[in-house]
Amino acid sequence: MVDVGTQTERFEHRRSTPLASPEQSDDEWSFSDIINHSGDMSWSPGEEMLSESSEEEPEELESLTDPNAVDKFIVCQRQLLSLFTVCSACCGETQGHIMHPEGTFIKVKQACGTCGYERYWQNQEKVHRNMPACNLLLSGAIHFSGCMATQTIRMLKLFGLQCISPGTFFRHQRYYTIPTIVQAWRTEQRGIIRELKETGGGLILSGDCRSDSPGHCAKYGSYSLIEDRINKVLDVQLVQSSEVPSSSWCELEGLKRSMQFLMDQDMQVSALITDRNRQVMMLGEI
Ligand SMILES: [Zn+2]
């Protein structure tokens, strides 16, 4: 059999915003890249050895208790249950049984027939409303990475990994991940508005509408406004085509709502750059 080798990526500390990946394919990795990637300081034998700073310990401790920051590993059932074959009280032979699987969550019961010792082990913490942490983290990872949920879950099931159902994902999406995105966006938007007010001067805006489907049968249009001086999205408005005469009017309605929002924030617009949408052009001529 041909040995195809195995490449793994080193775990790094998690960030709220992922960093851009280097433009490099797997085959281009060299040994020196891996050494430099680890972030180790270079050391020459003549230098005095310095002891590790104890200030890093609290951060390490925190990363072990935070389910989001802690590393996860795939474990096969046989290897997992082999950890429950010896009674820790009398060293007799025992068996572990998997109980209550719930998405990615499992609980193992170890019972000793000789001395009656029992213990329970679970593979993850439970969080809000007794919900297994990794179930929510998996839903978040699928949603925030932009992957298709049903395809991703099908792939994981094909691999043989015990994981959440699409129904659980969509429930998490509705009650947790979408509200989190909305909250994060509003916080970001408040920061941008504060930054622009401190900068002063009139806004220089570029705006355009994006429909959820091509042609004249779109159901939703999302209108985005970018502030050109700071090159950041300042506002996004979602318009449903049933709110306006036809889907081609979504753009004008989105623009009006964005302008109203900016007026409510006491912001002055110096310039607005749009494409040649007929309704928006008519508004510009008035
Ligand atoms: Zn025992």
For residue 115, give the CATH number of its domain.
2.20.25
Mean pLDDT estimate for the chain = 82
User: How many structural domains are present in the chain?
Assistant: 3
Distance 120 CA to ligand 1 centre (A): 14
Which value does ipTM take for this structure?
0.96
Q: pLDDT per residue over 257-271, tens digit each?
A: 999 999 999 999 999
| Residue that is last in its domain, among 173, 199, 225 | 199
**Residues 255-280 as b or e (16 or more Cβ within 10 Å = b):** bebbbebbeeeebeeeebebeebebb
Residues 97 and 118 in one domain: yes
Residues 206 and 280 in one domain: yes
Edge-first strand listing for the sheet containing 95-102? 95-102, 105-111, 118-122
Residues 109 and 175 in one domain: no
Residues 211 and 267 in one domain: yes
Distance 222 CA to ligand 1 centre (A): 64
**pLDDT of amino acid 219:** 86
CA dihedral sign of residues 237, 240, 242, 246:
positive
Confidence band for 154, pLDDT divided at 50, 70 and 90: very high
Answer whether residue 171 is part of any domain: yes
Q: Stretch 25-31: mean pLDDT, rounded?
A: 47
Residues 259 and 278 in one domain: yes
Least confident of 31-40, 61-70, 115-124, 274-283: 31-40
**Rounded Cα–Cα distance for residues 103 and 231 (Å):** 41
**pLDDT of amino acid 232:** 93
150, 143 contact by CB (below 8 A): no
Distance 166 CA to ligand 1 centre (A): 41
If one compares 284 and 25, the residue with the highest pLDDT of the two is 284
Distance 133 CA to ligand 1 centre (A): 32
What token pair was written down for 88? 């820790």
Residues 195 and 135 in one domain: yes
Residues 179 and 228 in one domain: no
Distance 132 CA to ligand 1 centre (A): 30
Distance 111 CA to ligand 1 centre (A): 8
| Residue that is last in its domain, among 140, 166, 199 | 199
Q: Which residue range is the domain that position 148 belongs to?
A: 126-199
Q: pLDDT per residue over 95-150, tens digit each?
A: 999 998 999 999 999 999 999 999 999 999 998 888 999 999 999 999 999 999 99
Distance 249 CA to ligand 1 centre (A): 74
Q: pLDDT per residue over 191-209, tens digit each?
A: 999 999 998 888 999 999 8
Answer whether residue 10 is part of any domain: no
Answer whether residue 217 is part of any domain: yes
| Residue that is last in its domain, among 142, 170, 199 | 199
Answer whether residue 261 is part of any domain: yes
CA dihedral sign of residues 61, 105, 93, 116:
positive
Distance 87 CA to ligand 1 centre (A): 5
Residues 167 and 216 in one domain: no
**pLDDT of amino acid 36:** 47
**Residue 177: pLDDT above 80?**
yes
**Residue 242: pLDDT above 50?**
yes
CATH of the domain at 260: 3.30.420.10
Distance 154 CA to ligand 1 centre (A): 41
Residues 116 and 133 in one domain: no
If one compares 49 and 1, the residue with the highest pLDDT of the two is 1
Q: pLDDT per residue over 53-98, tens digit each?
A: 445 555 666 666 788 889 999 999 999 999 999 999 999 999 999 9
Distance 89 CA to ligand 1 centre (A): 5
Residues 81 and 156 in one domain: no
Answer whether residue 214 is part of any domain: yes
Residues 230 and 240 in one domain: yes
Which one-letter amino acid corresponds to residue 179? P
Answer whether residue 57 is part of any domain: no
Answer whether residue 16 is part of any domain: no
CA-wise closest residue to 104 among 161, 26, 177: 161
What token pair was written down for 67? 């389910």
**Rounded Cα–Cα distance for residues 261 and 143 (Å):** 28
**pLDDT of amino acid 59:** 61
Distance 79 CA to ligand 1 centre (A): 21
**Rounded Cα–Cα distance for residues 133 and 68 (Å):** 8
Distance 88 CA to ligand 1 centre (A): 7
Q: Stretch 229-234: mean pLDDT, rounded?
A: 93
Distance 102 CA to ligand 1 centre (A): 28
Answer whether residue 107 is part of any domain: yes
Residues 117 and 88 in one domain: yes
**pLDDT of amino acid 69:** 87
Distance 80 CA to ligand 1 centre (A): 19
